[in-house]
Structure 1
Amino acid sequence: MTRQTIELPQLRMPYPAHVNSHFPALREENETWARRMGMLDCGALSACGAIWDTSQFHAMAVDRLTAWTVPDASLADLRLVHRLMLWTLAWDDHFAFKFKRTGDLPGARAFTARLHFFLSPVPGAEVPDPVNSVEKGLVDLQYDLLRSTPAHMRQELNRALRRYVDAGVQELVNNLAGRVPDLIEYALFRRESFAAYTAPCFVELSTGAAIPESIRRTRTVSALFDAFMDHMGLANDIVSYQREVDDEHDVNNLVVVLKASLGVSVQEALYAAADLVDARLRYFEHLAQTELPPVVRQAGLNPGERADLEAWLKGALGFLAGLYAWYTSARRYAPEGGPLAERHPTAEVVPVG
């Protein structure tokens, strides 16, 4: 299909991305888990049910994505985040190919219902035998999650993944009906459809620090989480616009939503989307610098809790910088006419330590 001629606006990202020191080890084993789960080709994709061939897999550069977004994670946590990120992309591409491109809503619902068996694990409970690479990967991940992560994080990650797969069904419903979501509705929905609710856990794994419980449910911290999650999902809508809209005919994209809501051209909608993404980052910065300090003082956080909060905030900005570095260099998002990095200079990437 001929793609629209558009100019992707450059997004503001003032924070450098750092590379996890365990990146060489992750790069060496980048394909291992995907092959073991059956996600990566066996010579012919249709013959073995794989999701990607080798070229497609390397175009995603998930090893770099992981190393940039969680630069301070241990090797064990880096592997876990890498597999979780690989799984979300495997689900995304499998769902798009099997259900979005065919319009198979009953099949999508049945597929998603089975995933819920694996995403609501009860120790000792029987679950179905996995019948495809997405289910097999989820079973393997549950074993790692149940074994290696704290209970609260297991619950948050599984809740986030349930919302993620359910959002896929709603996206398909929208596509089949030609229903472009309302802007306010879509901004909230995008946190689910991007699996953004996993990101606070990833930051915690990277930094070893969590938002102190005494302020976690305050209005300021809730707004901070929202701005953090909004930035990543809405920024992805800009860089993936041509892939999603031209190739997959998807209406679930911020640019499409703004075009319909504002009655403007695609190019104007792209610029408006970039402004909105930047506004979410600026709001995160405002909250952290201006509104959070009084909350911290009022809560009487001790020095250790303050240090955890600072580490988490720094890790969150590093996560966004890592995503930006990935968006602007991965061939998965390269527009027609050249690599994306040629149009968007990659964020400065510096080694940790």
Structure 2
Amino acid sequence: NGGGAGEAVPGFGMSAASIKFTLRSETARALSHSHVPYQHVGPSLLPDFDLPFTTTLSPHLEGARVRLVDWARRMGILEAQPGVPGSHIWDEERIRAIDLPLCAAGIHPDASADELDLSSGWLAWGTYGDDWFPVVHGRTRDLAGARLANDRLSLFMPLDDEGTPEPLNALERSLGDLWRRTAGPMDADARRTFRTAIETMTESWL
């Protein structure tokens, strides 16, 4: 019928205007705009916990703290690795702050000084490796390089008297040092079990 220019044509805008809001929806809408994030909450009320056991720490803790820093420095953990961008991930301040000998002293309170140093070294090595892979390989999404680096770690955990290759970085060097000191006195079965446990852990870094 050739409607004129003044004729209104119903469309989406007109139909949307006819939507009716309920009191509940209007209240929810108002609350969603009035929420203030990051408000302080608490404090939570906690019950009394029964702690029948006391904390015991190794008497060699203070010495282990000093010796761990010295060991990490000798292994090269506290410096950038040659030819590896972004590899200066730990320094003396960092290793002192995380205080891994304190953890070792609680895990093994009856340890001798040498045993506590060894436990502290393993904790440091595992923590350093856990930091190393995402920084060095994850930053560049270098999965192939990460797998190759992970595979090389097994070379520094020999099951017999075979030698090890020249370490390429502090992670390999420190693992070789810890392995010799730990696995040397073990029999073949214990050594194999120990290496499998470490390989399972390092696989999680990929």
Question: Structure 1 length as normaliser, TM-score?
Answer: 0.41
Decide which moves more: 77-86 or 48-57: 48-57
Q: Helix, strand or coil: the match of 1:123? A: coil
Structure possessing the higher relative contact order (Cα contacts under 8 Å, 6 or more residues apart): 1
In structure 2, what is the equivalent of residue 114 of structure 1? 152
Q: CA RMSD in A?
A: 2.9
Residue 150 of structure 2 corresponds to residue 137 of structure 1: no
In structure 2, what is the equivalent of residue 70 of structure 1? 108
- In the alignment, the residues of structure 2 paired with residue 111 and residue 13 of structure 1 have an alpha-carbon distance, to the nearest angstrom, of 46
Q: How many residues align?
A: 160
Note the C-alpha offset of 1:160. 1.1
Question: In structure 2, do the counterparts of structure 1 residues 54 and 146 end up closer, same or farther at CA, with 3 Å as the change threshold?
Answer: same
Deviations 1:258-300 (CA, angstroms, capped at 9, x unpaired): xxxxxxxxxxxxxxxxxxxxxxxxxxxxxxxxxxxxxxxxxxx
Q: Helix, strand or coil: the match of 1:18? A: coil
Decide which moves more: 131-140 or 144-153: 144-153
- In the alignment, the residues of structure 1 paired with residue 189 and residue 56 of structure 2 have an alpha-carbon distance, to the nearest angstrom, of 27
Note the C-alpha offset of 1:101. 2.9
- In the alignment, the residues of structure 2 paired with residue 36 and residue 13 of structure 1 have an alpha-carbon distance, to the nearest angstrom, of 44
Question: In structure 2, do the counterparts of structure 1 residues 81 and 148 end up closer, same or farther at CA, with 3 Å as the change threshold?
Answer: farther
In structure 2, what is the equivalent of residue 266 of structure 1? none
Q: Percent identity?
A: 28
- In the alignment, the residues of structure 2 paired with residue 48 and residue 64 of structure 1 have an alpha-carbon distance, to the nearest angstrom, of 28
In structure 1, what is the equivalent of residue 97 of structure 2? 59
Question: In structure 2, do the counterparts of structure 1 residues 150 and 50 end up closer, same or farther at CA, with 3 Å as the change threshold?
Answer: farther
In structure 1, what is the equivalent of residue 202 of structure 2? 165
Residue 126 of structure 2 corresponds to residue 88 of structure 1: yes
- In the alignment, the residues of structure 1 paired with residue 50 and residue 195 of structure 2 have an alpha-carbon distance, to the nearest angstrom, of 30
Residue 79 of structure 2 corresponds to residue 41 of structure 1: yes
After TM superposition, the structure 1 = structure 2 runs for residues 236-315 of structure 1, keeping only pairs within 5 Å, are none
Confirm or deny: 8 A CA contact 1:40 1:53 kept in the other structure. Answer: yes
Note the C-alpha offset of 1:156. 3.0
Confirm or deny: 8 A CA contact 1:49 1:133 kept in the other structure. Answer: no
| Larger Rg, first or second structure (1 or 2) | 2
Note the C-alpha offset of 1:147. 2.7
Question: In structure 2, do the counterparts of structure 1 residues 151 and 126 end up closer, same or farther at CA, with 3 Å as the change threshold?
Answer: closer
Question: Structure 2 length as normaliser, TM-score?
Answer: 0.67
Quick one: which amino acid aligns to residue 147 of structure 1?
A: G
- In the alignment, the residues of structure 1 paired with residue 97 and residue 88 of structure 2 have an alpha-carbon distance, to the nearest angstrom, of 16
Question: In structure 2, do the counterparts of structure 1 residues 13 and 168 end up closer, same or farther at CA, with 3 Å as the change threshold?
Answer: farther
Gaps of 5+ in 2: 1-36
Confirm or deny: 8 A CA contact 2:159 2:188 kept in the other structure. Answer: no
Corresponding residue to 1:146 among 171, 183, 201 = 183
Gaps of 5+ in 1: 170-353
In structure 2, what is the equivalent of residue 100 of structure 1? 138
Question: In structure 2, do the counterparts of structure 1 residues 87 and 13 end up closer, same or farther at CA, with 3 Å as the change threshold?
Answer: farther
